[in-house]
Amino acid sequence: MTTTDITAAAKRLNLALAALPRAYPGPGGAVAVLRDGEVLARHAWGYANAERRLAFTPRTLFRMCSITKQFTCAAVLDVFPDISTLDGDVAARLPRLAGPVPGAAHLAHNQSGLRDYWAVAMLHGSPAEAPFGDTEAARIIADTRSLQFTPGTRFSYVNQNFRLLSDILEARTGQDFASNLRSRVFDRVGMESAFVAADTRAMPDGTEGYEPMALGGFRAAENNIIWTGDAGLGASLDDMIAWERHIDTTRDDPAAVYSRLSAPVCFADGQVAGYGFGLGRGRVFGRAMTSHGGALRGWRSHRLYIPAERLSVVVMFNHLSPAHLAAMDLVAAVLGETPSGPDPRLPAPPWAGPYIEPETGLSARVEAGAPGQIRLKFGHSAEALDLRADGSAGGEGGARLHLGDDGGLWLDRPGDNASSRLTLLPASGRMDVEGVYACEELGAEVTVVDAGGALYGAFSGRLGQSRMELLEPAGEDVWALPCPRALDHTPPGDWTLAFRRDAAGRAVGVTVGCWLARGLDYARIG
């Protein structure tokens, strides 16, 4: 780069940094930008604890949440270079599972087929702020009887994949997870203050995570989860800078930890996977990138590395603003790129409507969005897909809707290794589905009530009784049960309730699922 280029990039970056507090408002935050191993920005603003007036600094301890997953894999690979040697340990922790059992690599690549345990906890009636610790986790994991898909064939984000790996690491080494991370990762890369922040109720330096209030302002978020290898990392911005420097310093060493974590991963059919060893693989502005986000109620973080540019970005917010978008703003500033947006001139497609995806059994509601966009309600939350000149629509995560040669609407999700023809649902459904339905596999129930001409539903099980939610019609005998709050950082998405009827037309069963926990059958008991 010329001196002029460097000066222009620095100016763009300074403007982007100055814009962050207003573009992503909240109590506080911190960001770092590194290029060629050098720190271009190490910046913090606002408050780590607004009530106690504790400033947010580069040394503030922060919940990195799911960014933990890559560190869990790093520690496991340090002890077990051939991760398949742990396959028997995985099987031993799933004693009731019938059929194929995932291997340790399937866990590390989120290809296990397991249902996410924080999502399953909602089916057990857990309130959003309920305690969820080792006891609850162990019971849900050990009770697993079936999978969502054959291991290795699909991707699905599952937190307990990494809890299982950290538990197995503890058992095999005779050291707790914190000691393993300290000796095998933190000390080696210079993450001096990093630690395992398992208890989400408090941070040792007083840092709080905040969520917005309906009438404005912020309140301290309430969390009661105990976590380990899935999301337990606590670290400062300076700790993460040390990690990013280590990545760049060892970039040309194939035996280095990050080289192993970011090595190509495939599905069983040979298709390249977009996730492996706790890292997402993707592209930004035409360049390959590895990245991961982290979140809990009140906390958002994101880190990425673009090897061709030797560029690292770390973002930490102690509030619910989208950290990944802030990271993209900083990348765009450094590289001099302009994010593309939808073309508002493109007409709305004729294929909006309610569908069901046949493999997962989940509803896929395609609705009008902002000019040049449509909204797809299928996964965690509604996805905005940009309309394209060829009549299709696509999003930043790779999801694509398009008409096939057969005239049907197809949903491609390459990150999940899935492509399927959606089934159009008949118009909205019948109301005569009220009753109590039980899932033998979970030992849990879903109750549907006609309350004055409106259907409401709720879950109950070993973790409690959830509140009643107004059901949303998705099509004939298919309803969505909203989950506006959950144990995890965002709810697992609306639950699809697909009812079954007998020959007489009576509703006798329902299949319940969301993207994180699919295909659970309930039979009517009352």
Question: Which long-range CB contacts under 8 A does 182-188 form with residues at least 24 apart?
Answer: 184/74, 184/75, 184/78, 184/79, 185/71, 185/74, 185/75, 185/78, 185/257, 186/239, 188/246
Structure tokens at 426: 């008949």
Amino acid 1: pLDDT: 63
Q: Which residues pair with 62 in a beta bridge?
A: 235
Distances in Å between the alpha carbon of 239 and those of 9, 62, 369?
25, 10, 40
Q: How confident is the model at residue 379 (pLDDT cuts 50, 70, 90)?
A: confident
Q: Does domain 435-524 bear CATH number 2.40.128.50?
A: yes
Query: pLDDT (tens digit, 9 = 90+) per residue, 109-148?
Result: 999 999 999 999 999 999 988 999 999 999 999 999 999 9
Distances in Å between the alpha carbon of 222 and those of 196, 209, 219?
19, 8, 9
Cα 482 from Cα 458, distance rounded (Å): 10
What are the backbone dihedrals phi and psi of residue 30, each rounded to the nearest 5 degrees, phi first?
Answer: -150, 145
Cα 400 from Cα 393, distance rounded (Å): 6
Query: pLDDT (tens digit, 9 = 90+) per residue, 219-246?
Result: 888 888 888 999 999 999 999 999 999 9
Amino acid 490: pLDDT: 77
Amino acid 400: pLDDT: 95
Q: Does 435-524 match 17-113+148-335 at the fold level? A: no
Cα 511 from Cα 526, distance rounded (Å): 16
Q: How confident is the model at residue 178 (pLDDT cuts 50, 70, 90)?
A: very high
Q: Does domain 353-424 bear CATH number 2.60.40.1220?
A: no
Where are any strands of DSSP class E within 266-390? Answer: 275-276, 279-284, 287-296, 299-306, 311-317, 353-357, 362-368, 373-377, 383-387
What are the backbone dihedrals phi and psi of residue 299, each rounded to the nearest 5 degrees, phi first?
Answer: -135, 140
Active site residues: 66, 69
Helix (H) or strand (E) holding 99: none
Amino acid 214: pLDDT: 74
Asked whether 40 and 33 are in contact (CB, 8 A), the reply is yes
Query: pLDDT (tens digit, 9 = 90+) per residue, 14-66?
Result: 999 999 999 999 999 999 999 999 999 999 999 999 999 999 999 999 999 99
Cα 333 from Cα 135, distance rounded (Å): 46
Asked whether 154 and 113 are in contact (CB, 8 A), the reply is yes
Q: Which amino acid is at 273?
A: A
Query: pLDDT (tens digit, 9 = 90+) per residue, 310-367?
Result: 999 999 999 999 999 999 999 999 999 998 889 999 999 999 999 999 999 999 999 9
Q: Which amino acid is at 102?
A: P
Asked whether 262 and 221 are in contact (CB, 8 A), the reply is no
Please give the DSSP secondary-structure letter assigned to residue 185: I
Would you list the domain boundaries of the chain?
17-113+148-335, 353-424, 435-524
Asked whether 315 and 18 are in contact (CB, 8 A), the reply is no
Amino acid 427: pLDDT: 78
Cα 142 from Cα 92, distance rounded (Å): 9
Q: Is pLDDT above 80 for 458?
A: yes
> Helix (H) and strand (E) counts for the chain?
12, 32
Cα 79 from Cα 183, distance rounded (Å): 11
Structure tokens at 70: 């890559």
Structure tokens at 522: 């309930």
Q: Write down the mean pLDDT value for the chain.
A: 95
- For the entire predicted model, the pTM comes to 0.95
**Superfamily of 17-113+148-335 according to CATH:** DD-peptidase/beta-lactamase superfamily (3.40.710.10)
Cα 62 from Cα 29, distance rounded (Å): 10
